[in-house]
Amino acid sequence: MTARRWTRREVNGALLGVIAAAGCLPRGSGNTDAPLDDTDAPVVPRGVILITADDLGWKDVGAYGLTTVPTPALDRLVAEGVTFDRAFDVTSTCSSSRATFATGQYPHTHGVTGLVHRNPELSLPSTTPHLARAFQDAGFSTALQGKWHLSFVEDVEDFGYDTFLATDFDQLIRSADAAKAFLEAHRRDRFFLELNFMQTHRDPFYDSFPQAEGFEVSPDDAHPPAWWGLPDWPEIREEVAGYMSRLAWMDSLIGDVLRAIDDLGLADDTLIVFVSDNGPAFSGCKLTLYDRGLGSPLMVRWPRAITPARTDVLVSSVDLAPTLLDLLGVPPLPNMQGRSWRPLLGLGGSEEPRDALFGEMEQHGGPIPARSVRTDRYKYIVNLSDQAWGMGEGDGAWREEVGALPDQHFDEPRAPEELLDLDADPLERTNLVGDPAMAAVLAELRDRLWTHLAETDDFRLPEVVALAG
């Protein structure tokens, strides 16, 4: 199918009209039974589906290079949308990351700097401008299913979701039936559906990856992906097999949703975004500011307006909310720190791609404060304590053995500063801070990070500057 490409004049003209009316659109406006053609096709999609994965690695999709299990649904999104090969979350812990998805702000701004179920005082207040509330106020029917991890003290309805679609007590999406029912009921509405899958998260009660029935993976075939940087040991393959099994299960459920919007005739005018909240829960990945901790698969599909493409430009999760609101014709939230991907999606605009991305950590279960800046080739990390990144979640005895290997550093005290050459050292193991040949690069990245912290009013700025001095 060949998607129509809009000219900048068409996009800007229509978008201005939509934004002017967005605040007074009635719920259920728009008729999906109306004929669509190139002359009267809408510039904005009628609905959006935001699909998030929990703890899914940035390349752990078939179309990104994974070979252990097939991921046909996610591969379909890659084939039919714009795929970002270098997309990064702003942090590597889920509550903080998801709050950034919802607000377009960095964690030190929105205040969710750790897990809200362990630190209820860090919950996002319902008074905070939120993506779902913006859609609701603009006349969209809104629903969420799956993980809710922004507040431990307030309900999803307080944040702008009309409906919390049914899940069990563990919030695990086990079927696409509720999502399909929502889409059927709102097929003539403007809608926003958020599906937060937890399959690739460790079982919260057993800290493991139970195999998914019908999607079993043999440990003999479950080699740790090369980009994780872990040895290929049998005991590690046991855990990887469970992770991959559950990934295949999640992919199957996403496939059910994609088929549902096809059957309902919604595919062309539904914007779908897929993203992960942080890297996999394996040693040296999640909870770090390395690429395998912050990196995420990212696909954006909207058949009527977006021509499939693949890009290696640097993009940040702080831009997710600004992009969705922009493409849906909804005014931006107050104090958003991100910007729209519209130009990167081929939909007009002249803003240049980012040449630097910023990351941060404060705490997960315990404090691990750090800040980072990543450019095309280099990364600079400031560690505000020497607390080790940690050996990842889980209780397998192999973690102690891996931590003792000479090429693994995630269980060692962190250096105050890390400078990494991502081209020469993609697993980020060689610290170049003391290399005289890298002095100019180090000075430049220090300045980039300090400037960002100052511009975003980060409370850690004095400590970061003092540490380098």
Q: Sign of torsion, CA 49 82 274 75?
A: positive
Which residue from 338, 332, 354, 296 is spatially nearest to 91, judged by alpha carbons?
Answer: 296
Domain boundaries, the chain: 8-345, 357-468
Identify the residue whose tokens are 């393959």. Answer: 237
Which residue from 244, 205, 200, 248 is spatially nearest to 222, judged by alpha carbons?
Answer: 244
Q: How far is CA 261 from the centre of its chain?
A: 22
Contact 115, 99 (CB under 8 A): no
Proportion of the chain above pLDDT 70, given as a percent:
90
Q: What is the pLDDT of residues 206-232, one digit of tens each?
A: 788 999 999 999 999 999 999 999 999
Q: What is the pLDDT of residues 347-404, one digit of tens each?
A: 998 888 999 999 999 998 778 999 999 999 999 999 999 988 876 677 678 888 898 8
Q: Which amino acid would we find at residue 357? A: L
Secondary-structure class of domain 357-468 per CATH? alpha beta
Q: Give the predicted TM-score (pTM) of the model.
A: 0.90
| Predicted confidence (pLDDT) at residue 29 exceeds the cutoff of 50 | no
Do 357-468 and 8-345 fall under one CATH topology?
no
Contact 72, 286 (CB under 8 A): no
Looking at CATH, the fold of the domain delimited by 8-345 is given as Alkaline Phosphatase, subunit A (3.40.720)
Cα distance between residue 272 and residue 279, in whole Å: 21
pLDDT value at residue 389: 82
pLDDT value at residue 351: 82
Cα distance between residue 154 and residue 258, in whole Å: 31
Which residue from 334, 337, 338, 320 is spatially nearest to 98, judged by alpha carbons?
Answer: 320
String of DSSP letters for 347-415: S---PPPBS-EEEEEEESSSEEEEEEEE-SSEEEEEESS-----S-SS--THHHHHHTSTT--TTSPPP
